Each structure stands twice: as C-alpha cells, then as structure tokens.
Amino acid sequence: MKIQLRYFASLREALGTGETIEAIEGSTVGQLRDTLIARGAPHAQALARGRAVRTALDQVLCNESVVLHDGAELAFFPPVTGG
C-alpha cells in the first residue's frame, strides 16, 4: 500500500518535504518509523527513537500504535513548530 509522508520543521530540513513509500498492509505508524530509521542516515538521525517526534495521520494527531491504510498521509514533526 502507498503512504504519502510529509516532514515539517527541522525534519523537513533534514529529509525534505516528503515522499511516497510502499508499506506492508496492516503496518502501524511505529513500524513505519522503524522502517525509515533502518534506512540509515539521515532518516536514522532525524527520526531516532531518542528524539521527540509527533505524528499525524490524515491531519489528525496520532500515536504510533495506529494502523496505516492505503493512500494515507502521515506527517512527522517535532513537538513545537514555528510559523
């Protein structure tokens, strides 16, 4: 299934504006984050487990246990973002 990723604030500076990724059916937000971390730098640094990163699925804040669906938009951003 295809997931549209969006990155904001400092994550955008490190990773760009976003990308489309193929995910396994039934994957959670946390599993997808781990997949991105496994790509290595710069994803590993920007999305590292020790860093505070918030997520929103289809423009609604969510936690990492939420299951993704085909065509979803998943956003990653730091806890505080500026205008």
Over its length of 83 residues, how does the chain's per-residue pLDDT go in tens digits?
A: 999 999 999 999 999 999 999 999 999 999 999 999 999 999 999 999 999 999 999 999 999 999 999 999 999 999 875 55
For residue 37, give the nearest of 58, 56, 64, 57 by alpha carbon. 64
Is 1.10.10.10 the CATH classification of the domain at 2-77?
no
Identity (one letter) of the amino acid at 50? G
For residue 61, give the nearest of 41, 81, 39, 40 by alpha carbon. 81
For residue 33, the model assigns a pLDDT of 97
